[in-house]
Amino acid sequence: MSKAVLIDTTKCIGCRACQVACKSWNDLKGKKATFSETWSNPRFLSSYDYNRIIFREISHPDGRLDWYFIARRCLHCHDPACASACPVGALVKMPEGPVVYDDVKCIGCRYCMMACPFQIPKFEWESAVPLIRKCTFCADRLAEGLTPSCVATCPTGTLLFGERPALLKEAHRRIGAAPQRYYPQVYGEKTAGGTSSLYLTAVSFEELGLNHRGFRTDLGDVPQGLYGREWMSKVPYVGVAVGALAVGLHYFHQRRAEVQAEERKED
């Protein structure tokens, strides 16, 4: 059965232990980073930063000021747009939940970067032989019966790993038990057809101002892979058309050259 991670942002203290654990397990090199305008560090996800904690300061109408911390990483969609757009099958959705990447198959087209509605896959721009990089859901750890490194490290129980149906049941239980604490929606339950990263928040994602940071709320429940397959299904026809056009142009120019040569001989 598909696994998932429930991310209860009301419990997050912004310690970034998950960021450190992610870099350690995946052997990601350290880079000099800068703070964002809200003190998030690093400013963006990258080929060497798969996980990032966004800091958000919200002022309420009653004058109360609250800090919220939201983990940004691959959502591992049920029907991922990145996998549907990949022409060589370098990205695959596993039955266990992770969307994994095979760098041996990758041709560097970066279609996955353009297709992903959450702006997750990143390119190794600084590498001589660049590859795509992103959160792997610790698929190698799951294969050994372990939890993802971020989950194993979290000191506050913000991250809960398990079977997706059980996590959704727990998420709705928490909302029902403390409606004053939670926004009444589980982000990722149906978003973009459903994801393996599920979020509980105290306020809406619109109020958190996270739409432009990759947590889109305009996707509805439509699986994003549908769009990729629709476009990629046309690629063979486009390829044949372009090939036919190239052959036709070659023949046309060749024939024109022959006619011009014949005209010069007659002169």
Where exactly are the structural domains of the chain? 3-231, 236-266
- Condensed to tens digits (0 to 9), the pLDDT of residues 219-247 reads 999 887 766 555 555 555 455 566 767 77
**Domain 3-231's class?**
alpha beta
Report the chain's mean pLDDT, rounded to a whole number: 89
Provide the token pair at 133.
Answer: 């990089």
pTM of the model: 0.84
Q: Running DSSP on this structure, what letter comes out for residue 108? A: S
Which pLDDT value is given to residue 265? 72
DSSP string of 190-224, one letter each residue:
SGGG-BSEEEE-SS-HHHHT-GGGT--SSSTT--T
Provide the token pair at 158.
Answer: 């913000």
* % of the chain exceeding 70 in pLDDT: 91
CB atoms within 10 A of CB 187: 24
Which pLDDT value is given to residue 62? 85
Question: Is the Cα dihedral 82, 88, 94, 99 positive or negative?
Answer: negative
Confidence grade of residue 53 (pLDDT, cut at 50, 70, 90):
very high
Round to whole Å and give the CA distance between 110 and 112. 5
Which H or E run contains 169? helix 164-177
